[in-house]
Amino acid sequence: MRTTVWTGCCNRADMKLLIDTNVLIGIEDNGPVRAQFANLVRGANRHGLSIFVHEASKEDVMRDKDAERRKATLSRIRKFQPLTGVPTPADAKLVAQYGKCSKPNDFVDAKLLHALTVNAVDFLISDDIGLHKRAKAVGIDARVFAVEDSVAWIRRMFEPRPVFLPQVDDILAYQLDFSDPIFDGLRADYRPNFDGWCKKISNEHRPCWVVRDGKRLAALVIRKDETHQRAQTINPGPKILKISTFKVASDYRGQKLGEQLLKQFLWYAQLNNYDLVYLTAYPKQKTLLMLLDAYGFVQTKITADGQLFLEKPIERGPLAVGKGETALAAAMRSYPRFVANGSVGKYVVPIRPNYHAELFPEFQQAGGSTGAATGRPGNTIEKVYLCRSKTRTMRSGDVILFYMSRHQGVRGSQCVTSVGVVKTVRSSADLDEVKRWTAKRSVYSDEDLEAMIDEADTPLMIIDFLLIGHLSAAVTLDALTNACVLTSWPQSIVRLDEAQFVTLKAMMDLGFEF
């Protein structure tokens, strides 16, 4: 076996992936994970990406008390290159940098993240919710993929092909084709009562959100209104939205359709004054659980058949930051609400119409245009935007207001259209570094990034942000200048003072109070 010592990062053809051993353990008894992992390995081999296992991972496996499982996992580990020679800080420094480590496997997680931090590898692949949360806490989650996300990323980057532009349609259950492959798993779960369930939700005219690719269902949410007495939730409601089915077809996993549907029903719940959203999920649904955890769903109990009960209260009014909480954490917890008081900065960010269309495809769909097909992740809540601004005051939790520059005949031209909250801000003039930090969420092609780097006389500014929503009525340049919010059309990022923002806020309608 070839042993490789880390040498830092390099170009796309030599990208390095680090596998968490929790993935190798999980493939033993989970069919979907096993299939996705096989796709990952095939894709990496096909395109010359190197897969590594950290030397610390063996320590984790050796603590497994199940001898047969330990043997099987070690056998899988030997199929991949060992990542050795990475300088690892003492335990105290790992804790200081990556958070509290109370168990041995916590230190292993910290060592994996440290290998990422020092660029021994480009990306870390794990389905461990705790590791993803630890990466998010230290601001490197943009380089940590779930298995299915990594498969979609490889296809998007190395196997370019036209992909449908996802659009969510609102239909009724009797309009569903229950022979569609998306129902295969549900048919097995509901056996022998699947046909009865189909008839029941059809007769009830149960409302659904669907994403279609031609005639196929790519993703599906079935919802219903419930009372607290019926729902038996821990949180009282009383106006409760139950997500009774939340499904992404296996062929479409990793394309962020789950995130798109999450955005759909959280926006819907906020705009329609629900008090609570809840759903149930099995522990094996790790990707879904990571997504729900990130956006404020809390496990409140376990059902008799082993499903996790997950609830998210929907509050109203201006969002306050909790004790020990950051403005960003508050926005994630209470999404789509966000902190808009004087504790956070406010910025107008100019954006070209073509990038606006790719970042916010649903904005033009709302105006009656579906836009062009694209394989890039424009359907997400979390996004990344690049510019050459020299602004250095923008911070996590700040509010950004996107201003679309002029384009004749395009809805939103010369207007503030959309609102976001900053996750992280970075600057870099190094192409490989920019690719690392934008890979997970980028709507930019390699050619776009290379052109931006070549043109830049200053480092590129990389803004990771949450999309809060789009204004019901875009605020025009004339309105902005007449109210003295802006003096002219913005050529670069403009910071607003609190008085300017208060003036602009009075013209902004997101459908809920902020």
Spatial distance between the Cα atoms of 351 and 63, rounded to a whole number of angstroms: 51
Residue ranges of alpha helices (H) inside 89-176 are: 91-98, 104-117, 129-137, 147-158
Between helix 147-158 and helix 31-46 the angle, nearest 10°, is: 30
CB 288 within 8 A of CB 299: no
Written as six digits, the tokens of 57 are: 């991972």
User: Please, how many CA atoms are within 13 Å of residue 399, restricted to the half-sphere of its CB?
Assistant: 27
Whole-model pTM: value is 0.83
225: helix, strand or coil: strand
Nearest Cα residue to 150 out of 40, 55, 71: 40
Q: Backbone phi, then psi, for 309, in 5-degree steps?
A: -90, 120
Distance from the Cα of residue 303 to its chain's centroid: 27
Structure confidence at residue 455 (pLDDT)? 67
Question: Is the sign of the CA dihedral 298, 303, 308, 312 positive or negative?
Answer: negative
CA angle 370/371/376 to nearest 5° reads 115
Both tokens of 175, joined, read 């309009």
Give the angle subtended at the CA of 18 by the CAs of 13 and 19, to the nearest 5°.
130
Q: Is the peptide bond before 82 cis (omega within 30 degrees of 0)?
A: no
Q: Using alpha carbons, select from 164, 126, 128, 130 the residue that is nearest to residue 148.
A: 126
Spatial separation of the C-alpha atoms in residues 131 and 124, rounded to whole Å? 10
Copy the structure tokens of residue 208.
């659904």
What pLDDT, on a 0 to 100 scale, did the predictor assign at position 167? 77
The sign one gets for the Cα dihedral 205, 206, 209, 212 is negative
Rounded to the nearest 10 degrees, what angle do helices 446-455 and 431-438 cross at? 140
Q: What pLDDT score does 2 carry?
A: 35
Pairing of strands 240-248, 207-213: unpaired
Cis peptide bond N-terminal to 192, omega within 30 = yes
Query: What distance in Å separates the CA atoms of residue 40 and residue 161, rounded to the nearest whole number?
Result: 18
DSSP structural state of residue 272: T
Place of tokens 């021994």: 120
How far apart are alpha carbons 358 and 383 in whole angstroms?
A: 11
What is the chain's alpha carbon radius of gyration, rounded to the nearest angstrom? 23
Q: Give the span between the Cα atoms of 81 and 268, in whole angstroms.
A: 47
Residue 368, exposed/middle/buried by CB under 10 A (0-12, 13-18, 19+)?
exposed
Query: Which residue positions in the chain have pLDDT lower than 50?
Result: 1-11, 162-164, 367-376
All structural domains of the chain? 4-158 (3.40.50.1010), 168-313 (3.40.630.30), 346-505 (2.30.130.30)
- Cα distance between residue 242 and residue 224, in whole Å: 5
Q: Which of 137, 93, 143, 136 minimizes the C-alpha distance to 117?
A: 143
